[in-house]
């Protein structure tokens, strides 16, 4: 079910605008509103899943799909060769602020490790 007052469910529903760069039957990708790299996209499932920890066995294929869409978004942005990073923040210690699972796709600059 859509999460009540979930901002990403509203983006999926078209109720609030987003700069979408890819969508299919299961996933939507759009530009992060506060980009941390020249390419900073978010890949989300149409289905409301609050976090990676909340994803169940029935979501396994969906999680795999999100990663494949992330790779596609990175490739389309020109980062297949140079590289890019995917990130899923989970819970408060990781800084998760939106509780609808999302894969960050970051690219276009050298990314440091470990992340902050």
Binding residues vs Zn ion (CB under 5 A): 3, 6, 8-9, 48, 100
End-to-end alpha carbon distance in the chain: 33
In angstroms, rounded to a whole number, what is the distance separating the alpha carbons of residues 49 and 67? 15
How does DSSP classify residue 49? -
| Cβ neighbour number for residue 115 with a 10 Å cutoff | 11
Whether 102 is catalytic is yes
Question: Of the two residues 34 and 57, which places its CB atom closer to ligand 5GP in the complex?
Answer: 34
**Whole-number minimum distance, CB 10 to ligand 5GP, in Å?**
8
> Footprint of ligand 5GP on this chain (CB under 6 A)?
7, 18, 30-34, 42, 89, 95-98
């Amino acid at each position: 079910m859509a999460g009540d007052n979930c901002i990403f469910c509203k983006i999926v529903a078209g109720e609030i605008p987003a700069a979408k760069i890819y969508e299919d039957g299961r996933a939507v990708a759009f530009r992060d509103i506060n980009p941390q790299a020249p390419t900073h996209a978010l890949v989300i499932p149409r289905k409301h899943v609050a976090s990676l920890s909340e994803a169940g066995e029935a979501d396994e294929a969906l999680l795999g799909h999100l990663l494949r869409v992330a790779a596609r978004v990175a490739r389309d942005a020109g980062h297949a060769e140079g590289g890019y990073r995917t990130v899923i923040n989970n819970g408060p210690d990781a800084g998760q602020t939106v509780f609808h699972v999302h894969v960050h796709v970051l690219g276009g600059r050298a990314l440091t490790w470990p992340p902050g």
